[in-house]
Amino acid sequence: MNDPYALLARWIDDAGGSDSVEAVAMCVATADASARPSARIVLLRGLDERGLRFYTSYESRKGRELLENPYAAAVLYWPALQRQVRVEGRVSQLSEAESDAYFNSRPRGHRLAAWSSEQSAPLESHEVLEERFAHFEQRFEGEQVPRPHSWGGYLLVPARFEFWTGRPNRMHERTLYTRQNSHWRESLLQP
């Protein structure tokens, strides 16, 4: 198969589908302007021929790092299937319309949490966060919760995919896809 997007979609389906947190949990690594890396788990919330989508606070550590250095690496791992996919590429913010559409599909409590939390900022106590949540719950009572301008989506546009399948005796199968203009070049890597 010479379409890494379709292969990734198939592997996600094999792992439980896009509604399964275990199937779409991915580790996203970013680096700041000094090349100091950081990684965290986010949920893959969209996949098509444009790339991989995830959502977060633009003011979070990852948001600040992506502003300084707009490249990331992501890993999806399914231990029960002995499969892993690594993706590397440039990251850009999604349009406001796309971010709004996803935000409005989230449960109300999740939308309120986006207003309540200054993600990655120091927190003096969990009670303060609960108070902020209660404040926004009251502020938006009976209304649609709008998307904060500090929250939205990112698109990871792959330049490279690596599909790994575990094999006995550590003779793993590794298939690399690298972007060559508008096409993908497929090659094998040694385990």
Residues known to be catalytic: 170
Q: Is 1 exposed, middle or buried (0-12, 13-18, 19+ CB in 10 A)?
A: exposed
Q: Write the DSSP assignment of 45-110 as a string of letters.
A: -EEETTEEEEEEETTSHHHHHHHHS-EEEEEEEEGGGTEEEEEEEEEEEPPHHHHHHHHHHS-HHH
Q: Report the C-alpha gap between 59 and 75 in whole angstroms.
A: 23
Kindly state the tokens that stand for 132: 């902020």
What angle, rounded to 10 degrees, do the helices at 108-116 and 126-139 form?
120
**Count of residues making up the chain:** 191
